[in-house]
Each structure stands twice: as C-alpha cells, then as structure tokens.
Amino acid sequence: MALSPRSPVPPGERLGLGPVPSHRDLFFGLLQVAMSAFGGGLSAWSQRIVVEERRWMSNESFLTALTVARLFPGPNQINMAVFIGTSFHGLSGALVALAGMLLLPFSLLMLLGLVYFQVHQIPAVDRILAGVVAAAAGMALSMGFKILHTYWRDPVALALAAATFVAMVVLQVRLVPLVLVAGPLAMAWYWPRTPRQGEGP
C-alpha cells in the first residue's frame, strides 16, 4: 500500500471521534496543551486535550503516537506534536502543531534567558542560582536511574551501557562516533531472530 497521510488514524476509526482538525485547530489545540502543562505533566495534558476533550484520535492511536515519539530522535513532546500534526495534514500539519506546542514556552524561556544574561553576575542572584543549579543537577543524575530497571534483567544491555559510560568518560570518545559505532553493533546483537518475534528479551 502507498503511504497514506492518514495511516495512523484509519477513516473507519473516526467513529465516535470529532471531525478532522484543521491547521488552525491543530495550532490552537497544541497551544492549549502547552499552556495547560505550565505546571508540568505535558504528556498527561496532551492525552486529556487531544483524546478526551477534542476527540481528534482514539486512545489507541494516541498511544501509538507516544511509542513512535519515544522511539525516534528528538524531544518526545515535540515528536508527539509532529506525529499528531502529520496524521491529519502531513508536513504542513506537523509544522503547525510544532509551532503551537513550542512557540509560547520557548519565547517565555528566551525572555528569561535575556533577563538571566543581564543579571547573573549580581551576587545575590548568583547565590540563589547556586542552590537551584545543585537541585537541577540532582534531576539530571536521576535520569539514568529512572530507566535502569528496564534493563536490570538483561546482562548484555547492562554491559553495553557500562561500556558506553567507560568509553565516554574514561576514553573520552565523543557522542557522534560512539553512536555510529556502538549503535549498529548493538542493533546486530538485538536483531530479531525470527521475523515474527515481538516479545522483549
């Protein structure tokens, strides 16, 4: 079958769903997601607005979108918006959805950035930042631990992760060559043995 721009949301599945969103709807819908998520929980807000409130796609399609967004390179939430936009209007839909998702929070952060570069040398500001930065570093540290349990029962995966760590920290291998060399090797190891195999290792 040829590529269909509607592939993730087949027409039959639109029973019980709202009408196909226009470009305008996509922009404002994702703007609403971005604004609702100002306290956090972007993913939950996307689901609530896109699936429950606006009924653009079924929950199943939404979960597919989430899977694809996590699989491919790029920020998950941005990829998610791109997937939703693409499902309805191809590339132009993707760009509109991306703009809706990003424009407001990004512009706000840039405003903050401008203020930061003006004031960061003031001693009182620097003292407060020293604390905030220590907390943010703790958040960065937790990222690896957060997904560690997924690989806990797979010794090869743990060895791969450890080798990656040693290569980058001790041997100072840079990210791009590392991924280009280790990526294909790891893919060869995890290549599905039988074509229909779907379960995890």
Partner 1 sequence: MIPAAALLGCSAPAPADNWLQLAEVIRIFLSLSLFSLGGGNTLLAEYHRLSVEEYCWLSPTQFADLYALAEAAPGPSSMIVGLLGMGAAWREGPLWALVSAYGAELAILFPSTLLMVVACLSWNRLRDSPWRVAFERGLGPITLGILFVVGLKIVRTSNHGLSAYLVSGVVCVLMLRTRLSPLWFMAVAGALGGMGVIQR
In the region spanning residues 72 to 101, those forming contacts with partner 1, defined by CB under 8 A, are 72-79, 82-83, 86-87, 90-91, 94-95, 98, 101
Please provide the distance, in angstroms rounded to a whole number, between the alpha carbons at the two ends of the chain. 31
Indicate which single residue of 11, 15, 143, 171 sits in contact with partner 1 (rule: CB under 8 A): 143
Q: Is 154 in the site for partner 1 (CB under 8 A)?
A: yes
Sign of torsion, CA 102 108 111 112?
negative
Residue whose CB is less far from partner 1, 16 or 172: 172
| CB contact at 8 A, 11 and 70 | no
Residues 168-197 that bind partner 1 (CB under 8 A): 168-169, 174-176, 178-179, 182-183, 185-192, 195, 197
Residue 80's closest CA among 25, 43, 131?
A: 43
Indicate which single residue of 12, 16, 142, 171 sits in contact with partner 1 (rule: CB under 8 A): 142
Span near partner 1 by CB under 8 A; candidates 14-22, 49-57, 110-118: 110-118
| H-assigned helices in 120-154 | 123-148
Indicate which single residue of 38, 53, 63, 122 sits in contact with partner 1 (rule: CB under 8 A): 38
CA distance 83 to 74: 12
